[in-house]
Amino acid sequence: MIVNEQVALDHGLKKDEYAKICNLLKRTPNITELGIFSAMWNEHCSYKSSRLHLKKLPTKGKKVIQGPGENAGVIDIEDNDAIVFKIESHNHPSFIEPYQGAATGVGGIMRDVFTMGARPIANLNSIHFGSPQHKKTKNLLRGVVHGIGGYGNCMGVPTIAGQTSFDSSYNGNILVNAMTLGLVKKDKIFYSKAAGLNKPVIYVGSKTGRDGIHGASMASASFDDKIEEKKPTVQVGDPFTEKLLLEACLELMSGDSIIAIQDMGAAGLTSSSIEMASKGSLGVEINLNKVPCRESMMTPYEIMLSESQERMLIILENGKEEQAKKIFDKWNLDFAIIGKTTKSKKIELYFNQEKVADIPVNTLVENSPMYDRKWKKAKLPKKNNIKKQDIKHFKVIEVLKKILANPNVCCKEWIWQQYDHTVMGDTIQKPGGDAGVVRVHGTDKAVAATVDSSAVYCWAHPLTGGKQVVCESFRNLISVGAKPIAITNCLNFGSPENEENMGEFVECVHGIGEASEYLNFPVVSGNVSFYNQTKNLGIKPTPAIGGVGLIKDYKKMITMEFKEIDNLVLVIGKTEGHLDQSLFARNILDEKNGPPPEVNLFNEKNNGETLLKLIDNNLIKSAHDVSLGGIITAVAKMCIKGKKGILIKKPKYLINETEYLFAEDQGRYITEINKKDFKKVADILNKNAVHFDELGTIQENELYINDKTKVTIDELTTSNKNWLKNYMSK
């Protein structure tokens, strides 16, 4: 095939990028080489619009073993144990083919983790759908949930937590972000940096087919009316093969034969071979006739760009090939020596005794485009003038029931009941709480993980929203008694070529960086997903933050349900009455304007660390952070989970009852303590300059507000638990 500028444009390259390729090669590329450039230089693989800004994120810390740049981040959890974790997007494939798109997203993120030597111990997900009224939403939700469950359950890895939201901005582009945690010994971590000359390059796993070709390029493009035609670019997953691949790789890793190992993810054999060579400043020579293929007459172009799942690339020590082959034969997986490392610093491909590609590795990696795109700074919106007389007529209980039934607040049991969250036997806090928690097998330690996003706040003011979502992750970990260690991020945005969208990205990243730095909560891995839009309509900016923390003694773990009648309930953190961008303002008043709540990083850190001191002193019986829906919504959820009521006495603040109960001020927690411990708790809070309110007392099965308004917990439970179940059954 003759390659020209139009063929390059059809591959998603820009005119100037094609000219740069010709200049770097000092010739016109052939079709295989063009395919390789299009894969390596697309947004999904090269981060060409985001690299400049991602470099500013804080990535180092006392507990950080490996930051961004590897398959996943790695943190130290003491006793020679480490946690490997990352979050990745599979948005475009999941919109086109929800089951396989979501399933292969889960499979891909698990491979990123076990390719570093870690056994996956937990999965999480952050999934976002269009308006519930949109004709596609229900089927997309059903397909995605079945795909996540189908793959994770078959792999025998528990799904311990997640987040699901609905917003009309996702009508034409849903988001499916998958996160995995793995456990590894610190002295058995594997990396993807090639080393040594004439070392065998080994292909293992499934055979290569034509599924997923151009998958990475498709992930770097906007949707249009012809979206259905892109179905062939969606990969097809096989969790049973991945389970075999996991066990075979871990068995091989128990020895000393692996120099480097890399998952074949986006752009398949292309990205895996080139990334390994680039990191090791080496060349790689591959004979494509030796690549195991499941379809006949596959071309070099197809073999290099296939995104068939469940495949790995390994560089072995010389002389270890036969021993390694026996392991993969035992697990009934393909094992093929397809090439070797060289000193050429090139990727050299051979097919039918002919050289079909000859590209210097640095032209694909170091010389890939990096853009400083134009962006617009967002102004902080003016506050709405919500007058007291406009809100005092609302009946608190009726508003509370509406908020508990809101699609973004309602119980998501219909979703997580389809996931196996107890397999492996170490899950000690299941979905439905502030964070999922798994015990480190055979020890007293436990790892807590959560995934959060806040598109509404980020849309209203990206800088503040970016800070808030990191703080939300921090609070969720603290609420279960975990010390936050590090985060991974999945940054979902519209087109970087649009100045407003690019501005949202830049300022969200700035906010994430500022909060991460202040909270000592570094970013160790992540993913950027641009072009989340149909035609010219982009999604709301949706950075998803996956947080991980350590509980040194799992018996000190905290859950959110109220425990005992007559215990006191406190609000830690001050309530100023911020209603703008709250659920109350948006869904009850139908007021979509205004700024998100302010984020005070000093208070976030101080309030959280003080709560951990209280937990460490065994003074906290239950805890839950205050987020969507304010104090009353947080309290109602604690009542529902604990099947207990509460008598609320609103503090005599200047703000009125509605503002106090529904405001979404940040940095706050609802905590339950024993009455006899009140003085000790108050002393610690006062000593650390933490504001707190006495909110009320736990009682039998009714929620009372100031003795005059009441509702049974059964009524609240019905409001909270029925919406999603009814929606999916229609």
Assign 3-class secondary structure to 324-383.
Answer: HHHHHHHCCCEEEEEEEEECCCEEEEEECCEEEEEEEHHHHCCCCCCCCCCCCCCCCCCC
Is residue 210, in this structure, part of any structural domain at all?
no
State the helix-helix crossing angle for 462-479 and 499-518, rounded to 10 degrees.
Answer: 40
Instruction: Tell me what pLDDT residue 215 has.
Output: 56
In the predicted model, residues of the chain with pLDDT beneath 70 are: 214-233, 653-654
φ, ψ for residue 214 (rounded to 5)?
A: 70, 15
Is residue 726, in this structure, part of any structural domain at all?
yes
Is residue 618, in this structure, part of any structural domain at all?
yes
Is residue 540, in this structure, part of any structural domain at all?
no
Of 305, 202, 320, 215, the closest CA to residue 261 belongs to 202
Q: Which positions are catalytic?
A: 44, 90
Is residue 240, in this structure, part of any structural domain at all?
no
Beginning with the edge strand found earlier in the chain, give each strand of the sheet holding 446-452 in spatial order: 427-429, 436-439, 446-452, 542-551, 483-492, 523-529
In a 13 Å sphere around the CA of 20, the CA atoms on its Cβ side amount to 14
The tally of domains found in the chain comes to: 2
Instruction: Tell me what pLDDT residue 386 has.
Output: 79
Instruction: Tell me what pLDDT residue 286 has.
Output: 98
In a 13 Å sphere around the CA of 544, the CA atoms on its Cβ side amount to 29
Asked if 73 and 66 count as a contact pair (C-beta separation under 8 A), the reply is yes
* Cross-strand bridge partners of residue 551: 446
Of 472, 407, 474, 476, the closest CA to residue 436 belongs to 476
Would you give the DSSP letter of residue 183?
E
Asked if 112 and 72 count as a contact pair (C-beta separation under 8 A), the reply is yes
For residues 409 and 583, what is the distance between their CA atoms, to the nearest angstrom?
9
Is residue 301, in this structure, part of any structural domain at all?
no
Pairing of strands 64-66, 73-76: antiparallel
Question: For residue 16, what are the domain limits?
Answer: 1-41
For residues 237 and 130, what is the distance between their CA atoms, to the nearest angstrom?
25
Instruction: Tell me what pLDDT residue 653 has.
Output: 65
Is residue 59, in this structure, part of any structural domain at all?
no
Q: Residue 139 corresponds to which tokens in the numbers above?
A: 């089927």
For residues 157 and 183, what is the distance between their CA atoms, to the nearest angstrom?
12
Would you give the DSSP letter of residue 651?
-
Q: Which residue has the tokens 């849309």?
A: 459
Q: How many residues does this entry show for the chain? A: 730
Asked if 510 and 70 count as a contact pair (C-beta separation under 8 A), the reply is no
- Strands (E) across 431-516 are located at 436-439, 446-452, 483-492
CB atoms within 10 A of CB 517: 16
For residues 471 and 665, what is the distance between their CA atoms, to the nearest angstrom?
12
Q: Residue 646 corresponds to which tokens in the numbers above?
A: 């509460």
Is residue 668, in this structure, part of any structural domain at all?
yes
The enclosing domain of 645 has a CATH number of: 3.90.650.10
In a 13 Å sphere around the CA of 525, the CA atoms on its Cβ side amount to 26
Q: Which residue has the tokens 């509404």?
A: 456
Instruction: Tell me what pLDDT residue 225 has.
Output: 55
Asked if 499 and 506 count as a contact pair (C-beta separation under 8 A), the reply is no
φ, ψ for residue 152 (rounded to 5)?
A: -60, -40
* CA angle in degrees (0–180, nearest 5) for 500-521-609: 120
Q: Environment class of residue 655 by beta-carbon count within 10 Å: exposed (0-12), middle (13-18) or buried (19+)? A: middle
Of 424, 416, 511, the closest CA to residue 471 belongs to 511
Q: Which residue has the tokens 């529904």?
A: 662
User: What residue spans of 254-320 are helical by DSSP H?
Assistant: 268-280, 300-305
For residues 626 and 629, what is the distance between their CA atoms, to the nearest angstrom?
8
First to last CA, the chain: 52
For residues 184 and 114, what is the distance between their CA atoms, to the nearest angstrom?
9
* Average pLDDT, rounded, for the chain: 94
| DSSP code per residue over 215-265 | HHHHTTS-B-TTGGGGGGGS----HHHHHHHHHHHHHHHTTT-EEEEEE--
For residues 696 and 699, what is the distance between their CA atoms, to the nearest angstrom?
9
Instruction: Output the CA–CA distances (angstroms, integers) from residue 544 to 40, 133, 547, 577, in the order listed.
Output: 25, 24, 10, 26
Q: Environment class of residue 256 by beta-carbon count within 10 Å: exposed (0-12), middle (13-18) or buried (19+)? A: exposed
Per DSSP, the three-state class of 550 is strand
Which helix or strand (DSSP H or E) is residue 537 part of? strand 537-538
